Each structure stands twice: as structure tokens, then as C-alpha cells.
Structure 1
Amino acid sequence: MRLDLSSQDIEFQQEVRAFLRDKLSPELAAAGRLATSVFIEPEFTLPWQRILHERGWVAPHWPKEYGGTGWTEMQRYIFASECARAGAPGLAPMGLGMVGPCIIGYGTPEQKAHYLPRILSGEDYWCQGYSEPGSGSDLASLQLRAVSDGDDYVLNGTKIWTTHAHHANKMFCLVRTDPEAKAQKGITFLLLDMSIPGIKVDPIITLAGEHELNQVFFDDVRVPRSGRLGEENDGWSVAKYLLEFERSGGSSAGLEAGLGRLQRYVTGLGCPDLMRLAADLGTRVEAIKGTEQRILSAVSSGKPPGPAASMLKIQRTELMQAVDELGVLASGMYGGVQQLEAVHPLGNVAPIGPAELVTAMPRYLNNRAGSIYGGSNEVQRNIIAKGVLGL
């Protein structure tokens, strides 16, 4: 796909830039610039989501009839690029980027009418109940039990690595409804309220010292059957559809913007080895753009992303980690200094060492999981081997 801008695209680009100049406050821009992972605290993402929702720009990839923008692939690319360059905080992906498209694809009219407007507005903040102890990349081995009891399912078990469960009021969850069936055949997809009695959320502190992850325990939790998305025991089909959006969602624009700041810093250092590494990473960013455009074209015509989503997931996460490694190298002796207060947008604490690299080490530590979450990159290569090469 050609990336040359037409006169209409240039006009749209100017509209987006004017909107960002007018609406993106310094505090919100700082939250985007100081982000140490793809998840930013809702105290910053939700105000920005409300601003975008008021403009009608909060869900560019959704169909227009459900609250999307009706933009072309190029307009979506321009919007993502300009937001990244301006430092806008990325929105929480679980609702808008993952379960929202899944509800559009599998939800009943009643589910769509109830959930979709609340996702757009940010009234519902979602977390993902997928991984369990011993069931991560091998997700089909999950054991969280859901027993049918009248109009409810009764849940017992646990989920782990549940990002922002301590903030969420909703969860989309995979449960085992038929323990006798083959692994993928006995799974059901549920939408549930985090305030239901019997749910307990315990924090997991990351290597970077941040509270982003949690373990969630279910003790006789009653979930109404009306929260089931898709058919009973067919949740694996729903989950695969959702994972394609998880793996293909997002944009290289954030990587490009972050790498651009890093390139300017290493150029100032005058270190030829670091400058060469930065240039190589820039070439990889350009290669990823082509894959993104192919996927956007497929999704806009009503097709799921397919195996290309796995290709893009590998490319993005491995490049993200390479950029992080370059940041740590450029940090030198300051890379090992833990300074959580300095990466908080409202912390008002001066960093030790170069301000441009204050997030280098926490990003490096947090993003090591990038090649694991959403299905490990080894699993993605198996999907490609089967779906593309027929192996």
C-alpha cells in the first residue's frame, strides 16, 4: 500500500494536529512520554479517552455503525502516527482493542447495546482472564471451572498475570465448562462483573517495581448465563478471534516515535556503534509498516487478520525489545538506577541521569514479557507454519 498522502490526507493530518495541540494537555503528554509499558494508569488514559469519545475518535477500527470513525486505512495510520508523535497516552487495549471487536463479532443485539457504548465512553474498564498458573501459552489447558447452575455459571479457580485487574470493573474470561471434552472443545467465553462476591484480586509487583499485574481468585462466583459470549463450549473460537485483534492491534507509530527520540539522543552522544544500531532499528520499523497496512486492509473489508497477525506480533514485540536494549545501552551507568517517582507524570521528581532515558530500564524489564503475552512468539511461529506454509 502506498503511503503517499493525498490532498485529503494532508487536510486530515492538519485537522488531527490541530486537535492534539488544542486538547492534549502537558500532563497527558507526559503520561504518554513516560509510559513504561503498553498499559498506562487509568488516571491518565480515561480523561484522554473521554476527550476522544466526545470528538467521535475513540475507536477508529470499529465499524461506523457501532461508534467507529469510518476512516480509511490511511487516515487511521495518520491518526495513530500523529498521536504517537505528540506523546498522547495509549488507551487501555482490553476494551476498545480486544473485547469490543469480539462483542461486535459474536455478541447478541442485547450484549452489543449494553456493552459497546460503555466501552466507548470508558464507563467499563476491562481486564482479561486468560492465563492461569501452568496455562499461559498453552492456554487450552486452562482449568478455571464453571459449572452450570440454573441461570448462572458457578466459577472456581484462578487467573494470573491479569493486567490492571485492580482497576477493572469488568473481565472477559475463559472458563472450563466441559472437563471431559478435548481441551479446546470444553471452553466457554464469559463477560463478568468484577464486583461479584467471591472474586479476590492479589497484586503481583513486576521486576520494574510497578503494580500492573495481578492474580485473581474465584470462590463460588456466580456469573449470569447472559454474560456468555458465543455458544457454550465454543469459547475457543471466540478467543482465537479476539487474539487475532490482540496480536494485530496497535501501531508501529509509538515504536517509531520512541525510537526517534532515542536516535536523537545517541546522535548527540556521537557514538558510531549506537548510531548504527539505531539506524538498523529504523529500517525494521519501516518494514513493519507494510505488514500493518496489509492487515488494516483485510480488517476494513470485513476479514479477520488471520496468520498475518502472528507475523506482526512477532515483528513488533521483538523490535520493541531491541529498542529497549538500545535504550539501556545508551543509559550507561544510569540504567541500573530505580527511580519510580521520576517516571510518574505528576511526581515532580528530577531524574538521576539523562531525562530522555529515565524510562529505559523499566521499559526493558516490563517489555521482556512482550514476546510471551498474547501467545508466545514460538507459538506464533507454529501458527504461521501451519496457516501459511501448510506444515
Structure 2
Amino acid sequence: MLKRIATDQLRPGMYLHELCGSWMDHPFWRSRFVLKSLADIEKIRSSGISEVWINVEVGMDVDGGANETEVREEIERELEAAATAPSPLIDLPRSRDEQLAQARKLIGRSREAVTSMFAEARLGRAMDVGQGRRLVEEIAGSVMSNPGTLLSLARLKTQDTYTYLHSVAVCALMVSLGRQLGLSDAQVREAGLAGLMHDLGKAVMPPPVLNKPGRLTDEEFAIMRTHPERGHALLLEGGSAPPEVLDVCLHHHEKVDGSGYPYQLAGDQISLLAKMAAVCDVYDAITSDRPYKMGWDPGESLRRMAQWKGHFDPLVFQAFVKTVGIYPVGSLVRLHSGSLAVVIQQNPASLLTPKVKVFFSTKSNQRIVPEEIDLGSPWCKDKVMGCEPPDKWSFKDIDRLWAGEAARP
């Protein structure tokens, strides 16, 4: 049986099943092993992770904690509460295929622009955010006219494009989250620019460390943790970045409980935009494939992030859930009918009833002819029962099911 406990309850002899945090936050190559020493326990605690899952069937138990059912019910209640507020209705352009094609073209142009900016930084040239502002305008326009499309498509990256498209994705997420939080148009664009520039410091990280196809050593991890300060210095030298952008670049890895970096800021010491960037940065990182780690399913990622107490500002995270949907586009879900489906579009009137593409029957354990179903239709009797981990079913074409040709590398 699995049980979630606080890290201060860890003892040698326990079987660690999973760390309640992003793989970027902890120093272990694997997360399932018997804790044999106090040094390993201290390493977990010092990483800023406050809770873990243990398997009490193969390791030592402890009083307290919560079992899988209790945690799942708690998280579902929290996410459904966050999703109940209606989102603004926005006119969509012609068809999903056209939306995806437009978004793919914009992502291509954005990748080229961000690649150029990073190259300038590597050459030691002063950064001018003017080019970034023009790009933010285009990204903001796409997000406002095609909610969900650009956000979801920007999640699909290759090893070679990750660093650049991550900046584009965080920019788009910041714009969308800023609108959800009711920021002014000017503030939304500053948030987008901050998202675009937040990882500029990675441009001057040693390539063998930045592009390493595996877990970083402690020394390499320490080098990567300098990227917020390096990026802040580059923007400060350029002289054209507004204070909000400088702040986000420096503080997007801070956590509300004070366990982040580089300055261990806590609570209200962290600005709203930096709190927004913390959520957007982590969500895009953990849902994207990396050389050493497959990205988590979007819906499952939200459920895991909801468990990381002390990492994110609760109100900002609730707004983020409304931004991407309780079942984000690309999520694999199980329906009441026993079918499996992938989410293809949000329902602005109800985030609990998205449009899905059904493609697998768990009753017959085989593929069926794909069919699009609008769960928000008054004639639809089916409903989502929960997210499903794609690796449980070994599906290799989830992205192509919802994005079509736009999902190709």
C-alpha cells in the first residue's frame, strides 16, 4: 500500500516510491529505493521537497500520512473547486485544423526568434528586449483568439528545440494566466515578456551541462542553479528590460515556503509575476519530453502539482487550473462508458466537460474507430471519470490523436 507522508517522518528502512515534486528539484537518479541512511533522508529534505510517497508493503511503515484513495479524493475536490468558475467565452476561428496550423507556424517563427536572442547572449552582446516585445504581441494575439491551441502545441518539443520552445511556451502560459487573473492588457504583455525572457541565463550555461542526456551531478546541478542570476545580469546589462522582467528572470525558481532559489524568498516576498512564472515554468517542464525523462500527462501533472504543498501560491495555482483546464488538451482520460479518450478542446462554459476523441475500449481491450464527442452537449450521457497514465497502456500516438499533423517533429 502506498502512503503519502511528510519528509520529516522519513526513517531508514522505508521504501521510497515517489517524491512529491518535479524531477528537476531533487538530486536522485531514481525515486524508488529503500532509504538506508540518514544522509539520503537529509538530501531529500534539503532539496525543498516536503512530502513523499512510501510503499509500506516492502518497507517500514509510520503512523499518520494519507493513503492513495484519500489523496486522490482530496486532489480531485481541490481541482474541481478551482475549475468551477466560468471562463470567458471567446470566438474561435474556423476549424481546429486551421487553429493548429496557425499555431504551428507561429511556434516555428517564435523558435527562430528565441534561438537568435540566445545566440546574441552567448556572444556577449547586450540584450535588447524590443524583438521580444514584438514576439509577445504575436503570441498574445494567438492565445486570445485560439485559447488552448498554442498552449498545448508548444508543449511538443524535441531535444534540440526544448530550451527555445520552453521560453515560447512559458510566454504563452503567462499571457493566458495573466488574463485569467484579471491583469490589464499592459500587465499581460509584461507577463508574457517576462515568460519569454525568464530562462535567458541558460544561454550562457556550459553546453555539456545544459544538454546532458541524463541526470545532473550535484556539481552540475549547482551550475544550472546559477542561471537566474546569470540571466538577470544579461538583461540588466542590456538596459532595456523593465523591472518586472528582471524580477521574474531572477525569482522564477523561488517557492512560497522559502525553499526555492537563489534567495529563498517566501510568501509575499515573491512578486505576483514571479509566482505566476513558477507555475508556468514547472508545468511546461514536467509535461515536455526530455532526453532522460518522458513528460508527464498534462492532466496527471496538474494533480501532482496540486500535492506539492509550499511550492506554489495557492490562488495563482487555482487560476492556472482554470487557464489550462482541469483536463488540459492532450490529457488521456477514462470515460464512464469504459472508453479511453484524449482531450482535444476545452469547453469554456464548463472545464469538467471538454471535447474528447474516443479511440480505445477498455471492455474489449482494443482500439476502436476514433470518434469526437462533446461531453458538454446536453445529449451526451458520458462523462470523465479521471485521468489515465499513457504509459500504463503503452500508447505511442497520443499527441497525434489530438494534434494531427501539427504534432510531427
TM over 0.5: no
Q: Which has the higher helix share?
A: 1
